[in-house]
Structure 1
């Protein structure tokens, strides 16, 4: 009885052996490995950079501020203000950063306007024991020690305080139009440029408010001040707190 030759069929559900298969697999694994190395390296580099938010020392000093008083003929505005003391330093991540500039960023969320006031570094403040220049108080006691004395001299209540690098405003402006999530994902460098009492959420709120007003639209001014003898043969600057409050808009004529 003759035997029928069995027909052979190719199974489509079983992968065919290819001499290039191992080479392709190895290439893919190498590519994945390279990507992982790059990713891990990037994450490690980011992890080594300090993100200084929620500074408790600054927070405690902010809480210790006194109340603002109204000069004769004026009263405190009902607008919603955010006042940020910005101490610009040469290297925010240095052990002892050098103070190069002192400013108060006053943001009026109600009127959608803001003022960036430059404070003389030789401003006369009182640390609770004696009168001293702002820059000397910073050098001797640090940023936290400057908050209450400067707030008292300026007759302002600071909402937040931060140490910042010189380019922080350029960075905030570069994120213009970005929402909170975008600021977080693309603005990580901003966090590496500051040391602040603010939480990440607070910081993003302030950044978005600055953006909505426009960095270029901020009114820039030097704090009104006069020179006074320091009693040791030199001079220091004395803030005109009444005029400063009027210039910022926090003080308005009494009805």
Structure 2
């Protein structure tokens, strides 16, 4: 009986012994890329989580229009000045560490900053108290209108920030803007504000241009009182560039 000869076909590709290993490697690369993309998107979304805060939006809208003539008959408001009340929380978030005002001249990008006494005497419906006491008992939003009244400034926007905000801001401002994306994400995550996402990004860009992290505080008169510190609102406004005397 004749045995049939066996021939190997040369027109059929031979499976590579490394095919399975390559497939596994591709799956791993795709999985890692997906995780990184998800992590980036999640981190970015989280960094915007505390924007458009409704309590701060209400506080912003409830501010009174300052009576400039009560400060000085010759005082005049400077056009194009955006003001930001920045309340800095302690590390555990329970108390007020610093209170600051930023003034941004939108015409030329110049920035000024003033520090408010944390024991600033303010008036509420319950009577006279201090800024730090009100912050500790009621939180940042309830501080906005009383501070606005005492400072005679209707704040354009309000930010309640974590204790590490200032270090992040300084690092952000000292980093080229095209390289500061990661720092900007951390900076946004440290802020609770009435600002929208887009407005906050615009603000941070303006802060970067104005080198907000290194802006020195202006000088104005403060005094210690029986119920807390008092301030000279006219001097404060003029020093910030909000008013001309």
Q: Aligned equivalents of 1:98 and 1:20: distance in 2?
A: 62
User: Within 5 A, what are the aligned runs for 1:4-153?
Assistant: 11=11, 15-37=13-35, 40=38, 51-70=49-68, 71-91=71-91, 97-153=94-150
The 3 A distance-change label for structure 1 pair 243 and 237 is same
Alpha-carbon contact 1:118-1:223 (below 8 Å) kept: no
Q: CA RMSD in A?
A: 2.9
Q: Aligned equivalents of 2:157 and 2:95: distance in 1?
A: 20
User: 2:185 aligns to what?
Assistant: 188
Alpha-carbon contact 1:169-1:215 (below 8 Å) kept: no
Query: Match of 1:220, SS?
Result: coil
User: 2:3 aligns to what?
Assistant: none
The 3 A distance-change label for structure 1 pair 15 and 100 is farther
Q: Aligned equivalents of 1:43 and 1:67: distance in 2?
A: 40
**Superposed CA offset, 1:69-88 (max 9, x none):** 22224323333111111111
User: 1:178 aligns to what?
Assistant: 177
Q: Would you tell me which structure has more helix in proportion to its own residues?
A: 2
Cα deviation, residue 227, structure 1: 1.7
Cα deviation, residue 224, structure 1: 2.4
1:242 maps to which of 214, 234, 245: 234
Matched, 1:226 2:223: yes
Query: Match of 1:163, SS?
Result: strand
**Superposed CA offset, 1:37-88 (max 9, x none):** 5655666677777821000111111111111222224323333111111111
User: 1:3 aligns to what?
Assistant: none
Q: Aligned equivalents of 2:10 and 2:45: distance in 1?
A: 54
**Superposed CA offset, 1:121-141 (max 9, x none):** 111100133111111111111
Q: Aligned equivalents of 2:47 and 2:234: distance in 1?
A: 41
TM-score of the two chains, using structure 1 as the length reference: 0.79
Q: Aligned equivalents of 2:199 and 2:131: distance in 1?
A: 26
Cα deviation, residue 194, structure 1: 1.1
TM-score of the two chains, using structure 2 as the length reference: 0.82
Q: How many residues align?
A: 234
User: 1:215 aligns to what?
Assistant: 212
Q: Aligned equivalents of 1:189 and 1:48: distance in 2?
A: 10
The 3 A distance-change label for structure 1 pair 66 and 172 is same
Alpha-carbon contact 1:119-1:223 (below 8 Å) kept: no
Alpha-carbon contact 1:54-1:199 (below 8 Å) kept: yes
Q: Aligned equivalents of 2:59 and 2:201: distance in 1?
A: 22
User: 1:202 aligns to what?
Assistant: 199
Cα deviation, residue 33, structure 1: 3.5
* Unaligned runs of at least 5 residues, structure 2: 1-7
